[in-house]
A and B are shown apart, each in its own frame.
Chain A
Amino acid sequence: QSALTQPASVSGSPGQSITISCTGTSSDVGGYNYVSWYQQHPGKAPKLMIYDVSNRPSGVSNRFSGSKSGYTASLTISGLQAEDEADYYCSSYTTTSTPIVFGPGTKVTVL
């Protein structure tokens, strides 16, 4: 059972914007600006999309953005495209028994 909470699924039409939430506690998301987001297409390795809440690695589309408020971090995908259909995982630094915790993942469907 993950210490972080994500919606199981989010959907949107092409061109729309969607937001995926990732809720934690003061020991992880709420206490540090150390949230990352990963995209995983079926049968593929995860890919880093956002780190340190809102930083985008080079090569990642600027349609992807991250933010945080209190105990909840968010990933927003704007101008939704068919290729964005994938699973998305948040992760956070944590002061519990492990240095990092992943969320359970959110399946994004492009209608």
Chain B
Amino acid sequence: EVQLVQSGAEVKKPGESLRISCKGSGYSFTTYWISWVRQMPGKGLEWMGRVDPSDSYSNYSPSFQGHVTISADKSISTAYLQWSSLKASDTAMYYCARRKYSSSPNDVFDIWGQGTMVTVSS
């Protein structure tokens, strides 16, 4: 079965660092880009950025550039989203998602992780 399995919920304090993970299985992990999508409580979906697991090249939405780092370790089929200094406004559900196409400009997400809830509170 093709799936993305994310790490569990996190509760952190402002200023703390955090890395959450997304492990792919059932397919060739290096063939498909992985994106991260934020969903704040009661709000819509926001694309944060993506990584090419084959070479760890990443790019970001300007809204998230400089605040998060997206990476991948192809040896263990895992993508990561990390923060060096969390803010209360980072409280949200974070989804990883597999890009369906490897050769199209269109980001279609055919497989999604179950989501990781991150709560940042003092």
Residues of chain A at the chain B interface (Cβ within 8 Å)? 2, 32, 34, 36, 38, 45-48, 51-52, 57, 89, 91, 93, 97-105
Considering only CB atoms, which chain B residue lies closest to A46 in the complex?
Answer: B112
Interface size range on B against A = 20 to 34
Report if A97-B114 is in contact (Cβ < 8 Å); known contacts: A51-B108, A89-B45. no
A101: chain B residues within 8 A (beta carbon): 47
Contact across chains for A102 and B45 when beta carbons are under 8 A apart: yes
Residues of A within 8 A of B104 (CB): 34
Name the B residues within 8 Å of A104 (CB-CB). 44
A41 CB to closest chain B CB, in angstroms?
12
User: A103 to B95, Cβ gap below 8 A?
Assistant: no
A97 and B62 in contact (CB under 8 A), knowing A45-B113, A47-B112, A105-B44? yes
CA distance A2 to B45 in the complex (A): 10
